[in-house]
Every structure is written in structure tokens, then in C-alpha cells.
Amino acid sequence: MRRIVSINLAVLAGVFVAIAAQAQDKVPLQTQLPKPLFVGTPVPLNVPNLEPPMKGKRPDFYVPAGTVNLAKNKKITASDNSPVVGTLDLVNDGDKAGDEGSWVELGPGKQWVQIDLAKTANIYAILVWHFHSQARVYRDVVVQVSDDATFKSGVTTIFNNDFKNDLSLGAGKDLNYVETYQGKLIDAKGVKGRYVRLYSNGNTTNKLNDYIEVEVWGKPAA
């Protein structure tokens, strides 16, 4: 019995050492946040499946050392080639402010923007700012990764709160959320792919689809 206990303790010790070693290879994701643009208590939103509001600063999110924002200034395409406001390059120009002129606005209904990372990468986190000068919820937010630019094969969905399957991409189980200056951080869990596509379907203020900034944090695949 003592021998079994000793073996089990040795196994546990090995596991803890491995976890500690892995943790040492990870660092907090560092990104610059824009200034908050609205204060006070937002008007209650009648939205189902809404996650509780974030209190204070978002907890640190850890990524492998050497992780960088692969999306900045990469090629952007979209389902709407004639945005209502702005240009597609605003999606990943590094400007996260919610002031006039900082965002691109796509037409009403189902729309998407797509980032070409130029080469396949391991993706650990995606940060999205749709619009943060007003408390809004963007509907049917779906984020997918693929090595196929047409997203017809090899698609991995890493976020989906389209619980009614309005986009016909499959019903999602993620929660709706209120836009804030901290953006929405999505854990991509190291998924591998070259292209990142982000869908939405209007918001609680209007039927349009806005993007201030998208960051894709990862490392080129070996």
C-alpha cells in the first residue's frame, strides 16, 4: 500500500512539474486598450443568453511566449464591398478608438469580414471591437478559422452565439455580450489556419455591422 501511495505521489509530482514548466512558457497577452467612451449605467438590453457584465479589468489571458498580433495591416476582404461608412483597412489598422472615423460599417443583415494572415499560424486569441461608444449587443457573432479562403472546407468555429442558427452555420452555445472598450477576447486554443472570418447580423441599435478593430494573436505554424 505504501509503495502504491509513493508511486501515485511521484506521478502527481511529475504532473505538477510539467504544468509549472508549461506555465513558465506562457505570458500575459499584452494589448493597448482604447479609452472608455461611455460612463454610468447602460440602458438594460432585452437580449436572451446575455453574459453578466464584466466588472473591472479583464483577468490576464496567457499565451505562449513570442505570440504577436498577426492581423495588423494584413489583407481584409468582406461580404460587403461597398461599406456604408469607412474602408476595410480600418479593421486592422491598430486604431481601437471609438471616435468618428475609426470604424468600418457594413450593410444590414448577415455580413462578414475576413483577414488573410498571409501564412498558416497557430492562433491563441482573437480580440474584437465592434463598437464601444454605446452599450450594444451584436447579433449572431460567429468566428471561424480555415486554410481555405472560401471557407468551404477545413473550417473550425471558435465562437458562435447564433443560438437560433440564423446564419445557417450551425446553432451556437456561446453567450451574447455587451460591447465595451476592452473588446471581446475569444480563446482560440491554438487552432491552426491562415484565414479568420468574423460574422455578425446587425445589433441592438440598428441592422448594420461595425468593426473598429480585430487582433489575431498567434505564431506562424512550424
- What's the CATH code of the domain at 169? 2.60.120.260
Prediction pTM value: 0.88
Average pLDDT over residues 23-27: 80
Q: How many domains does the chain have?
A: 1
What per-residue confidence (pLDDT) applies to 43? 57
Within-domain flag for 82: yes
| Alpha carbons 222 and 147: distance in angstroms, whole number | 15
Within-domain flag for 34: yes
What per-residue confidence (pLDDT) applies to 166? 98
What per-residue confidence (pLDDT) applies to 18? 41
Within-domain flag for 170: yes
Give the E-state strand segments of 65-110 in sequence order: 68-69, 75-78, 104-106
Task: Please give the DSSP secondary-structure letter assigned to residue 123.
Answer: E
| Alpha carbons 215 and 129: distance in angstroms, whole number | 9
Within-domain flag for 45: no
Residue 201: give the domain boundaries: 28-39+62-220
Within-domain flag for 153: yes
Within-domain flag for 175: yes
| Alpha carbons 9 and 4: distance in angstroms, whole number | 9
Average pLDDT over residues 31-55: 82
Within-domain flag for 1: no
What per-residue confidence (pLDDT) applies to 21? 37
Within-domain flag for 185: yes
What per-residue confidence (pLDDT) applies to 12? 54
